[in-house]
Amino acid sequence: MDLRTTYMGLKLKSPIVVSACTLSEEVGNIVQMEDAGAGAVVLFSLFEEQLKKEEAKYEAIVSSTSNMFAEASDFFPSLDEYHKGSDQYLEIIRKAKEKVKIPIIASLNGITNEGWIHYAKQMEQAGADGLEVNIFFIPADVHLSTSAVEYRYLNIIDELKATVKIPVAVKLNPYFSAMGNMAKRMQEYKADALVLFNRFYQPDFDINKLTLLHNLQYSESNEIRLPLLWIALLYGRVPISLAATTGVQSSIEVIKYILAGADIAMTASALYKNGIGYLKTMNRELESWMMTKGFENIDAFKGTMSQQHISDPTGYERANYIKVLESQK
């Protein structure tokens, strides 16, 4: 069975890709991911505000110390010489490119236009094959209009595409008022791929201590429904590469996403739960299913369950919801 696929112009040996997670902080893990059959690896995200916080902390230490003991400043390196998070991140890109042949996709979460451009350039120069921009933005300002939110996304894409030559994927949320139109506009602004969907940080409450709980929960397989819907709706309508990144726990979710029209399916939760070697199982099960169905390659079944290709397209529409409700009587 031929598992090869193409994602935003990159040739992959498998549609199963490791999504941005802390597992990729170690180059040794990235080597294991390639050996286990990953088509590509999206590195853990570089957060601009975290870098700014580290720089400010360093400057505060140097400033306070030098004010008390002027001669002490000689013992501190300059900020330019100080090894910050971005340097370590870029070094991981370089080392990973030396060790593996699969595409290495950098992940960036910026907060300023200057930050997006600056770090994107550095990632490209370090050898990243592609860039995933994780626009993790919660429009909490009640005075911020819908058009302003949309412009923020499009402006970031526009700036990045004018800055780097490597392909750019946009990891976005599902909460736009006109998701289909927004996807189309992102493609018109030259985004190379859409990653559906980002999971917003959602705090919980401790009702005894009356404090916020900051728990990060793994995605579950039942969370694939929303990205599955939108991939099926967008496939064939917006000429852009599509990636799914929610709820991939096994080969079953991978198959469903490809049937809907995804070029790749990303997973991290499954690897945290089962280990990096689980990628072998997922690829093996995908091959087995393809053999059973008589599909020799990924393109043979990609998008066959999209709205454009199923026999009854109304299955994706409001009318079908009414049928579901009536079936429960």
Structural domains of the chain ordered from first start: 5-327 (3.20.20.70)
306 and 235 Cβ atoms separated by less than 8 Å: yes
235 and 193 Cβ atoms separated by less than 8 Å: no
175 and 197 Cβ atoms separated by less than 8 Å: no
- Predicted local confidence at residue 54, as pLDDT: 45
15 and 5 Cβ atoms separated by less than 8 Å: yes
285 and 251 Cβ atoms separated by less than 8 Å: yes
- Predicted local confidence at residue 77, as pLDDT: 44
Q: What are the residues facing 10 on neighbouring strands?
A: 7
10 and 4 Cβ atoms separated by less than 8 Å: no
- Predicted local confidence at residue 329, as pLDDT: 58
Please give the structure tokens belonging to residue 297.
Answer: 């390659």
HSE-CB at 218 with a 13 A cutoff on CA atoms is 13
Residue whose entry in the numeric block shows the structure tokens 């009640």? 142
Instruction: For the chain, count helices (H), then strands (E).
Output: 11, 12
Segments in the chain below pLDDT 50: 52-84, 325
Residue type, 42: V
Which of the 8 DSSP states describes residue 214? Answer: -
- Predicted local confidence at residue 270, as pLDDT: 96
12 and 102 Cβ atoms separated by less than 8 Å: yes
- Predicted local confidence at residue 69, as pLDDT: 44
- Predicted local confidence at residue 161, as pLDDT: 97
Q: What are residue 309's phi and psi, to 5 degrees?
A: -115, -10
* Inter-CA distances, 249 with 194, 244, 271, Å: 20, 12, 8
Distance CA 57, CA 87 (A): 17
Distance CA 175, CA 140 (A): 13
Helices 48-68 and 113-126: angle between axes, nearest 10 degrees: 100
